[in-house]
Structure 1
Amino acid sequence: MKNKPIIGISMGDASGISPEIIIKYFLYGKKGNFNIVVFGASNVFAFYKKLFNLNFKINAIDSFDSIDEKALNVFNCTSSNPSEVSIGRIDEQSGKLAFESIDYAIDMAIHNKINAYVSGPINKKAMNLAGFNYPGHTEILAQKTNTTKYVMMLGYRKFRISLVTTHVSLRQVSDFITKERVFNTILISHKDLIEKFGIKKPKILVCSLNPHNSENGMFGSQEELEIIPAVEEAKKIGIDVVGSIAADTAFLPQNRKIYDCFVSMYHDQGLSVLKALYFDKSVNITLGLPIIRTSPDHGSAFDIAGKFIASYQSMQEAVLQAYKMNKCKQKNH
């Protein structure tokens, strides 16, 4: 058991579906040659166990030496361990617990106590109410790991999309599309596709920003001034990349068979396609970090919290993806 990799999962927002999907994955999901440890508050899981009338063992631990492979191992790492949870609403206590579990889990990954980190869904407003003013997981990870250049990738198995811009308004997107940003997204994606996905010679397709690839400048200049120069620079250093390609044809089935990663200019350009195809299975992956981090590709879903109807498929894929990435990383090192 001691030689098995440990996949750490932060508890997420206790008022949402995160504890439920963690429990469901533990009870019903696909496992591998690894152990999972949840960072959070064991009483939260006892609360949901009782609510859902389930029969399983919760092993509250404060040391990795106490892992029980037949139990849900919860590493108590929060400042409180409440026995009651406010279900389905924004709650300051849940926001505090969520941040504390994230903070501790990242520390464990940085210090190699766990082999990979999977983050349970949070509610950003709840976390902000508790005094932790971060836009999301990625910014916490970047700060704690001292990472300035990172990329949000989302995908399901061999269909992967890296984003040049993430959570910004459409009005701001064009200002953020610079040669440097596009080039760094290509570069970071290429590096991690090799090191963490085991793809020896990644093939990357870069989308256009404007309709019809700007139609020779009729619909904008970003392709000519920023995107294509970034692609050409990436080619010069040996990266197998094409672009820019009109986004309305970039994701056709034949392209999804050829390319290992698509670089999308903005959030909905790529993720609308991904979620239309694999809504409950896709995974969020942060590239460019010194640690492995994945998460389910959905939020805390307060509207269905406490009803035992949430799908655990995306959590399962996030755990299995983290395990595969760790295997590739260990092999390359």
Structure 2
Amino acid sequence: MKKAHKIRVGISIGDLNGIGSEVILKTFEDPRMLDFCTPVVFANNKLLSFYKKHYKMNVNFQGVENAEKIIDGKFNVVNVWKDHLKINFGEEDKFLGGFTLQSLEAATQALKEEHIDVLVTAPINKNVIQSDKFNFPGHTDYLAKHLGGGESLMFMISENLKVGLLTDHVPVKEVAKVITPALIEKKIKIISSSLEADFRVRKPKIAVLGINPHSGDNGVIGKEDEEVLKPTLKRLRDRGNLVYGPYAADSFFGTKNYQNFDAVVAAYHDQGLIPFKTLSFGNGVNFTAGLEKIRTSPDHGTAYEIAGKGEADPTSFKEAVFAAIEIFRNREEYKELTKNPLKKQSKKL
């Protein structure tokens, strides 16, 4: 497919009873957003009209039959279904969860077929979307299966902080069992490659947090840091990787040590996401690193407690759109430079 002049940003609608529709419409209510991209929401024209009327927003969009008929420079809505749906903001609804999945499936297929360039996913309710077609703990695992690139990684990014996870949606009692030398090397390789290709970091410097409190205190509080993490990090350093740690997680962020690194690797979900969201909430973005295609999302959930009230802050969703655009451009430039080493050398001079 011939690339559009403006990057085509595909958007899955997320949970229909959550705040996804609100933050999407608020983001593109500003007509200047069309200077940066061509947005494409996968849902239904009548549904978006309902949301527009409910929130009293002045935003124009163009309904199209399928992704092949996207109109560049317009706010597009691909009509994935024709059903009339009843929206009850703030309620879990498994029936509506099926339409959330239809939106995600259509957007993912359009990304694979290059009708869109990047994908931004609005928040889902992981409970109501579960089905025979979606038996995953979240977007990351679903997209890892359906998009090329092999292993993926949840990479939380903001302007001043980037946090990757060795394990994401894994029960705490299973974390130590799951973390192996092979997993550590694989995840750090994904982060390092992403920093180079997606964020223009030439020689990434990465910090790794300990698995246990105080990184195990030399084996007094668990053996995993001494027997698994430290030897693996040493092997990576011996190969020339700038990977340091393990650092005690309880003091690492409070002392602002994270500012000395290009990225931080946390052992498990809350160890990384609690400090990230404390420091970056509202401006952070969830990026799925390691895939051949680009997917981002805001750093918040469905927020049922405020859904339908017009109170949702679109900042994180807008940041997710901008991040997807920037990563796409960086990755295209990186591909060009790696194809042409002489061009790369001239940029250094």
TM value normalised by structure 1 = 0.93
d(CA) in 1 for partners of 2:67, 2:273: 39
Quick check: 1:196–1:325 contact (8 Å CA) kept in 2?
yes
Residue type at the aligned position of 1:187:
K
Instruction: Tell me the CA shift for residue 238 of structure 1.
Output: 2.3
Instruction: Tell me the CA shift for residue 25 of structure 1.
Output: 0.6
- 2:54 aligns to what? 51
d(CA) in 2 for partners of 1:253, 1:107: 44
- 2:161 aligns to what? 159
d(CA) in 2 for partners of 1:287, 1:234: 20
Alignment of 1:290-305 (within 5 A): 290-305=292-307
Specify which of 227, 231, 235 is matched with residue 233 of structure 1.
235
Alignment of 1:160-239 (within 5 A): 160-239=162-241
1:29 to 1:227, Cα distance in 2 relative to 1, 3 A: farther
Secondary structure at 2:114 match in 1: coil
Give deviations 1:60-83, integer Å, cap 9, x for gaps.
Answer: 1134554263x5311112x34425
- 2:77 aligns to what? 74
Quick check: 1:8–1:114 contact (8 Å CA) kept in 2?
yes
- 2:318 aligns to what? 316
Quick check: 2:60–2:75 contact (8 Å CA) kept in 1?
yes
d(CA) in 2 for partners of 1:20, 1:68: 23
Alignment of 1:1-333 (within 5 A): 2-28=4-30, 31=33, 33-61=36-64, 62-63=66-67, 65-67=69-71, 69=73, 72-77=75-80, 79-128=81-130, 132-145=134-147, 147-252=149-254, 254-333=256-335
1:98 to 1:314, Cα distance in 2 relative to 1, 3 A: same
1:254 to 1:292, Cα distance in 2 relative to 1, 3 A: same
Quick check: 1:95–1:130 contact (8 Å CA) kept in 2?
no
d(CA) in 2 for partners of 1:66, 1:110: 15
Give deviations 1:147-189, integer Å, cap 9, x for gaps.
Answer: 5422111121230000011112221111122111111111110
Secondary structure at 2:164 match in 1: strand
Q: What stretches of structure 2 of length at least 5 have no aligned partner?
A: 336-349
Identity of aligned residues (%): 34
Secondary structure at 1:226 match in 2: helix
Instruction: Tell me the CA shift for residue 102 of structure 1.
Output: 1.0
Q: How many residues align?
A: 331
Quick check: 2:148–2:292 contact (8 Å CA) kept in 1?
no
d(CA) in 2 for partners of 1:286, 1:155: 10
1:30 to 1:186, Cα distance in 2 relative to 1, 3 A: farther
Residue type at the aligned position of 1:172:
E
Residue type at the aligned position of 2:265:
V
Q: What stretches of structure 1 of length at least 5 have no aligned partner?
A: none
d(CA) in 2 for partners of 1:166, 1:247: 16
Quick check: 1:14–1:44 contact (8 Å CA) kept in 2?
no
1:180 to 1:2, Cα distance in 2 relative to 1, 3 A: closer
d(CA) in 1 for partners of 2:291, 2:146: 10
Per mean C-alpha deviation after superposition, the further-off stretch among 275-284 and 248-257 is 248-257
d(CA) in 1 for partners of 2:127, 2:272: 25
Instruction: Tell me the CA shift for residue 88 of structure 1.
Output: 1.4
Per mean C-alpha deviation after superposition, the further-off stretch among 308-317 and 127-136 is 127-136
Instruction: Tell me the CA shift for residue 126 of structure 1.
Output: 1.3
1:154 to 1:66, Cα distance in 2 relative to 1, 3 A: closer
Quick check: 1:16–1:300 contact (8 Å CA) kept in 2?
yes
- 2:343 aligns to what? none
d(CA) in 1 for partners of 2:234, 2:98: 46
Instruction: Tell me the CA shift for residue 264 of structure 1.
Output: 0.2
Secondary structure at 2:108 match in 1: helix
d(CA) in 2 for partners of 1:229, 1:112: 42
Secondary structure at 1:290 match in 2: coil
Residue type at the aligned position of 2:71:
I
Secondary structure at 1:85 match in 2: coil
TM value normalised by structure 2 = 0.89
